[in-house]
A and B are shown apart, each in its own frame.
Chain A
């Protein structure tokens, strides 16, 4: 289980995440939703151990998050982060060197599915190709927690289908999948729960089936109700 308890992050005078308590259980796909600047990325980065909270704490498997948690947590940032000198093959070797759960075989298969080759230089990739490479290397890990920040950004329709397929294939009873995206409709087809974040606060966590059954609305409808005339400003 991945959990944040009253977690807060402040950048200068802006509060990016404000006392968010959230529990994510294995076996489900969570869609983290909210406009730009609502705090989704900051929350994910704290869960990945990249950002230190100002207060509150992040827990993984019942223990405070530490360096060892990174063995089980895979995070895909929305920004490119590979070293400039790397090729796609170097990126795979790097992950293989540092993550025991990384499968080079799966990586090659995903690269092939995404129509990428190992000799491609990361510095010369288009944004779409870079997004595919990030997905391939992240999904090639057999991590207990996989967090994808805006994985569909800059991706063409066919590659988007491929990514959604790889996300569905990664579903496992002992794995948490957390995906943030502006493309709410795309996530509706795969997610079990929607986590709504607005202006650095957690609004609610709703089961998509429960939402349909109890209120007869889709996650898109719910999104519109929550965020109409509002936006995030703090991320």
Chain B
């Protein structure tokens, strides 16, 4: 599976490098602004970094679904399905690579943010405002959350698992389009509607499950629910691939 993982990572390497490049440019803009006391440049750099992080992490997930679609609908599918790897391994390597890439991106962008805040503090600029912004962002998620390392970690875990669920649901929609709906009119639209319906259904069922009252345990509980749904999606998708998929 490690070999499949390696090649999955390679497939999206180019786009990852583009985001690293944009981040580098934005970081330079930010640092020039910071050390030359050019406030406008600093703000442009900060905003650039924020939106690059947001777009980068979102794109990594979406690209994974697009790669699966390409891997199932073009002749490149032979590269996967000629090898002695079953559908569970093939799909599993894709899901794991995506979760790893999203996590790695989170660590990368989080590390950059920490470094930039640290440099901001070294320049004796008040970072209280920034902390206030972060706290208000946390309170948007849950009013009981205070800014702390465990709260941030739990929040990031919940976001990661929620994103993995979106991706695995996307995989299911793609595989349905390439199996049961293959060659049928409106297959793409039907599979997209299916994706929306499944996302709403999993969200609705998840909300019905009683969880802990405290903020951090609740975030961890939600992460576990998302992860459980992701595993269900993964097994359904791999089973359909195993039984029905022709490439």
Contacts and interface: CB of A to CB of B under 8 A. Distances in A.
Given A11-B183, A98-B3, A85 B75 contact: no
B221 interface: no
Interface stretch (B6-14, B19-27, B99-107, B124-132): B6-14
B246 A94 contact: no
Contact of B76 (A12, A67, A75, A81): A81
A97 B75 CA distance: 20
Contact of B79 (A12, A52, A70, A94): A94
A52 B183 CA distance: 16
Contacts of B10: 85
B136 to A, nearest CB: 43
Contact of B75 (A48, A49, A79): A79
Task: Name the interface size band of chain B.
Answer: 20 to 34
A71 interface: yes
A50 B82 contact: yes
A6 B3 CA distance: 36
Interface in A75-102: 75, 77, 79-83, 85, 94, 97-99
A12 B77 CA distance: 21
A68 B84 contact: yes
B11 A83 contact: yes
Contacts of B245: 52
A interface: dominant SS: loop
Contacts of A70: 82-84
A226 to B, nearest CB: 28
Given A80-B75, A81-B78, A83-B76, A51 B83 contact: no
Contacts of A99: 83-84
B86 interface: yes
Interface string B61-103: 0000000000000011111011111100000000000000000
Given A50-B82, A98-B3, 6 more contacts: A50-B77, A71-B84, A75-B82, A80-B75, A98-B83, A98-B84
Q: Which 9 A-B pairs have the closest CB atoms?
A: A81-B75, A98-B83, A81-B78, A51-B246, A70-B84, A67-B86, A97-B3, A79-B75, A71-B84
